Amino acid sequence: MDRFNMGLTEIEREAITSSFSLINNQEQRFTSFFYDCLFDMAPLIKPMFKRDRKLIEEHFYMIFCAAVDNIHHLDTIRSTLLELGARHRDYGVKVSHFPIVKSALILAIQHELKGQSNASIENAWSNYYDELAAIILEGMLADKIA
């Protein structure tokens, strides 16, 4: 176990990886629903997304997959997450945006899993999001990444 994801239990990791196998079959639908939720909840952040939405969705999904693939060794993507945080700072992202993103993510997971979603799965994803967000925030709030 690495020092960056010590908060997740093995049961939570299993809930994430098993539910991801269902989400992974519908990448485009999942990412589209996620961004629809995000922009519905926080329409004022939409102008921060200047690139083509398809590219934004692809990049989000790439990071999302990397996070799941490295759930047992989060330190392997730590530098990527720190850099992501620095880029988000440059885009104008605020700390207050993170709970909105979390809500949109959980809604997208619920939507994609349909009747197979439950509180245990949603709590596992919520906890993992918090761990990932903490690293991204570290990068966002740092003056400069070494």
Rounded distance, CA 49 to CA 53, Å?
8
- pLDDT tens, residue by residue, 3-46: 444 589 999 999 999 999 999 888 899 999 999 999 999 999 99
Domain extents in the chain? 10-141
Residue in 88, 85, 108, 99 with CA at minimum distance from that of residue 130: 99
Q: What confidence score (pLDDT) does residue 27 get?
A: 87
Pull the structure tokens for residue 144: 């400069």
Mind listing the pLDDT tens digit for each residue in 39-58? 999 999 999 999 999 999 99
- What's the CATH fold of domain 10-141? Globin-like (1.10.490)
Give me Rg for the CA atoms of the chain.
15
Q: Using one digit for the tens of pLDDT, what is the confidence trace for 44-101?
A: 999 999 999 999 999 999 999 999 999 999 999 999 999 999 999 999 999 999 999 9
